Amino acid sequence: MTRLFGTDGVRGLANQALTAPLALKLGAAAAHVLTAEKRSDGRRPVAIIGRDPRVSGEMLAAALAAGMASQGVDVLRVGVLPTPAVAFLTDDYGADMGVMISASHNPMPDNGIKFFSAGGHKLPDSVEDEIEKVMDSLPAEGPTGHGIGRVIEEAPGAQERYLEHLKEAVSTPLAGITVVVDAANGAASDVAPKAYEAAGAKVIAIHNKPDSYNINEDCGSTHIDKVQAAVVKYGADLGLAHDGDADRCLAVDKDGKVVDGDQIMAILAIAMKENGELRKNTLVATVMSNLGLKIAMDEAGITMRATKVGDRYVLEDLKAGGFSLGGEQSGHIVLPDYGTTGDGTLTGLSIMARMAETGKSLAELAQAMKVLPQVLINVPVADKSTIVADPMVVSAIKEAEAELGDYGRVLLRASGTEELFRVMVEAPEQEQARRIAGRLAAVVAEV
């Protein structure tokens, strides 16, 4: 049986793979699992629901609320807000669970459902499995009368509470900085410009007019060329691009050059070390981060840990080790002291705060890390589970590593969702990386 939950909640084409009846059952099952302890004490459980602006979110929010209320859970709907805002508000309101309805950077027809436990934490696989298990075993009849949950359509002060949280997290005045923000016509369309303006920056907002259908449409972090062009056009100091649910942020310097998640982590890690905020002098990234980040951290006297790909693994390592900064090349940056998930708006504020503190441009700050040329080739395979142990592949990897020495890196890994094997090579020169990656991909294709 195919697992319903993927790497980041339940996603699919809205009203086909992801239907209102499915959301109803998911809401009821999640409420049953995540609020069992509170219900056993006789207290009324509370859930938070937020969403991005896509049209199907209205339908799915109604179905989820109905499912949770049917299990005796009171539901506070906070409207259109970023994923990190919903995680924060789950904790701030003292709720027992939270739900974000979004498919992140996916196109509008898709949608997704992501649950948080009390405190705003993502669910481990074991809890998601338990939710799936009870979906079809809940009693046909739930509580009645006073036992039925209430649905509050607009939770009081939700956006204001999140904005105040951001203000407290990054208090450095940003006066004198002009920023272009591409909100992807998504969940940050209203809140991100407000947060940057409240901190003192001059904000030029683009793609911040969601109409329920235009989220991620030729804009945002997956179409970075739009903010690049806008920064140059307006002569801004930098640009920031969010995705649909605003848990990630990519940056652009004043000349329109992209500053990716690895470079952002390098900037923030060095800043936090200088300010005594980088606990255990450690940064947590993934195996897909550029080797240049590791080299930059070594030079700065900072330890870098590498997890499996996925922000959930970064979060797990941050929590287990008590570290204070982690993230991914894609722009998911996690600051555990201020949030339980990646927060694109907080990342943008942190970047600009470093610029304000040092008086340096983003381009100057990004020089802390030299990005090594990276080539990634996706190779279709019949059985991805057999690739790594194959003698021809092992031999080819050894040969490539010997050629690169300490000045490059080889990474082969299976796709988590498709019968593909990903071949990634980093080298001092682009042509060398391309040549070695092509050679390895050819060997993988033969297996």
Structure tokens at 314: 């970064």
Q: Which amino acid is at 169?
A: A
Cβ(80)–Cβ(55) below 8 Å: no
Cβ(360)–Cβ(253) below 8 Å: no
In whole angstroms, what separates CA 423 from the centre of its chain?
23
List Cβ neighbours of 262 (8 Å cut-off, separation of 6 or more): 285, 289, 290, 292, 293, 329, 369, 371
CA distance 258 to 80: 28
Cα atoms in the Cβ-side hemisphere of radius 13 Å centred on 197: 9
CA distance 192 to 163: 9
Cβ(354)–Cβ(271) below 8 Å: yes
Q: Which amino acid is at 424?
A: M
State how far the alpha carbon of 79 is from the alpha carbons of 57, 101, 109, 136, 427, in Å.
10, 10, 19, 29, 46
CA distance 446 to 47: 51
3-state secondary structure of 83: helix
3-state secondary structure of 114: strand
DSSP structure string for 377-390: EEEE-S-GGGTTT-
Structure tokens at 424: 């990634």
Cβ(418)–Cβ(397) below 8 Å: no
CA distance 355 to 365: 8
Q: Within 10 Å of residue 282's Cβ, how many Cβ atoms?
A: 21
Catalytic residues: 104
Cβ(326)–Cβ(318) below 8 Å: yes
Say which DSSP state 76 is in.
E
CA distance 63 to 9: 17
Cα atoms in the Cβ-side hemisphere of radius 13 Å centred on 123: 27
